[in-house]
Amino acid sequence: MNKKIISVTELNCYVTSILDEDYMLNSIWLSAEISNLKYHKSGHIYFTLKDENASINAVMFAKSAATLNFKLADGDKINARCKISLYEKTGAYQAYIFEIEKQGVGTLHESYEALKHKLNAQGLFDNKKPLPKYPQNVGIITSNTAAALFDILNVATRRNKSIPIYIYPAAVQGEVAKDELIQQIKRANRDNIVDVIILARGGGSIEDLWSFNSEELAYAIYGSKIPIISGVGHEIDFTIVDFACDRRAPTPSAAAEIVFPDTKEIYNKLDAYKKTLSLLAKKKLTTNRDKFEYVVDRPAFKQINKAFEQKMQYVDVLTDRLQVITQTSINNKIYEFNILLKQLEKLSPIATLSRGYSYISKDTQIVSKLADVQIGDDINIVVQDGCIMATIINKERKNGEENI
């Protein structure tokens, strides 16, 4: 029988391959207690899993450790999903941990359902604030390195460049995530710059998204005066945050589609409005003109018009007549005046004088009888062109009667 000699490396390599090929050992849930716990600064966690009778070394690499939503402690009773393989350097087989659940707390899904039920009963999912239709400033709370952020920015830039964006960076997984998210929600409310907040995170396992299933975070969202829309994970992922937010979008991009109104659509809308305005104004003008023409064309209006014209004509006739009457009456008056004037002239002593008569006055009194004057009185004899002064030398009564 030939001796087949292999190296230790070859052995460990062989054993590793056997373990790795085993379907069951590739993903297995272990019930155990933690001991010898060591958080390494690399982010990896080393510990021993044990029960009353046995133990196995375990390692949780940083990538998986980041999904832990609680801090491990020696003595914790846990369920751990892991794969079993060999650490070739020491020949020790060990558990490579993917995820850990605390025992007694129930599964993540159970605790998620319990929290959802509790918060719902407390009314935390009511009182939804409406999102602004046309936000003036948009806030984004997410990791500043996450694909989710760039998805949102891409959509925003494509749809509407006119809206300024304010990014509030926060870790979106791991232990610090919950506190950072809450802090940024409060900060955005204090700043009061943005009028809507997108709370976003890319897709991941239920563990990855676990920070978004926090009761405290739900309360922070509920307490926000600024409306918040969630865009967490993929379409099928629901978190407590989704229920607590004022609106849920299935993905970060979808949240951006909802928040940023499309400039093209608005331009189209504005164009349509302008057309409507012109149309309505034109319609009003046409209606008014038609109404006017309609009224003008109606027989009643025509009759009124005719009557009006006739009246106008009548007014002309009357005016003419008035003129004639007036003129005639004036002429008559002038004629009458002239006659009167002539009569008056006949009565005037001046006219009589012009015919060769004269009158005598004494001290402005007309002398008409013998008794009016005494012998020796001075008298005035008024003739046509002047006055003759004379003195009475004698008086003689008619018919040769005696002197007085």
The contact set with other proteins (CB under 8 A) reads 132-134, 136, 144-145, 149-150, 153, 156-157, 160-169, 184, 187, 263, 266-267, 270, 273-274, 276-278, 280-281, 283-285, 287-288
Rank residues 35 and 288 by Cβ distance to other proteins and give the closer one: 288
Residue 208 has which token pair? 């990855």
Secondary structure element (H or E) that encloses residue 203, with its range: none
**What is the secondary structure of 15-26 as a DSSP string?**
HHHHHHH-HHHH
CB of residue 155 vs other proteins: minimum separation in angstroms? Answer: 11
CB of residue 160 vs other proteins: minimum separation in angstroms? Answer: 7
Rank residues 56 and 266 by Cβ distance to other proteins and give the closer one: 266
**What is the secondary structure of 25-42 as a DSSP string?**
HHSEEEEEEEEEEEE-TT
CB of residue 277 vs other proteins: minimum separation in angstroms? Answer: 4
Rank residues 287 and 384 by Cβ distance to other proteins and give the closer one: 287
Where would I find the beta strands (DSSP E) of 143-220? Answer: 165-169, 196-201
131, 258 contact by CB (below 8 A): yes
CB of residue 249 vs other proteins: minimum separation in angstroms? Answer: 20
DSSP 146: S
Rank residues 45 and 152 by Cβ distance to other proteins and give the closer one: 152
258, 277 contact by CB (below 8 A): no
DSSP 371: G
Rank residues 153 and 381 by Cβ distance to other proteins and give the closer one: 153
Angle between helices 299-347 and 263-297 (to 10 degrees): 50
CA 196 centroid distance within chain: 16
Q: How far is CA 9 from CA 19, 240, 287, in A?
A: 15, 49, 99
Rank residues 215 and 262 by Cβ distance to other proteins and give the closer one: 262
CB of residue 24 vs other proteins: minimum separation in angstroms? Answer: 42
Rank residues 291 and 395 by Cβ distance to other proteins and give the closer one: 291
Beta bridge partners of 96: 59, 83
CB of residue 294 vs other proteins: minimum separation in angstroms? Answer: 15
Rank residues 276 and 354 by Cβ distance to other proteins and give the closer one: 276
Closest C-alpha to 34, from 11, 64, 55, 20: 55
Rank residues 87 and 166 by Cβ distance to other proteins and give the closer one: 166
Q: Is 183 exposed, middle or buried (0-12, 13-18, 19+ CB in 10 A)?
A: middle
CB of residue 68 vs other proteins: minimum separation in angstroms? Answer: 24
CB of residue 274 vs other proteins: minimum separation in angstroms? Answer: 5
Q: How far is CA 230 from CA 112, 131, 148, 223, 235, in A?
A: 17, 12, 12, 15, 12
Cα angle 198, 202, 204; round to 5: 140
**Which of 325-333's residues contact partners 24+ apart within 8 Å by CB, and which partners?**
none
CB of residue 280 vs other proteins: minimum separation in angstroms? Answer: 4
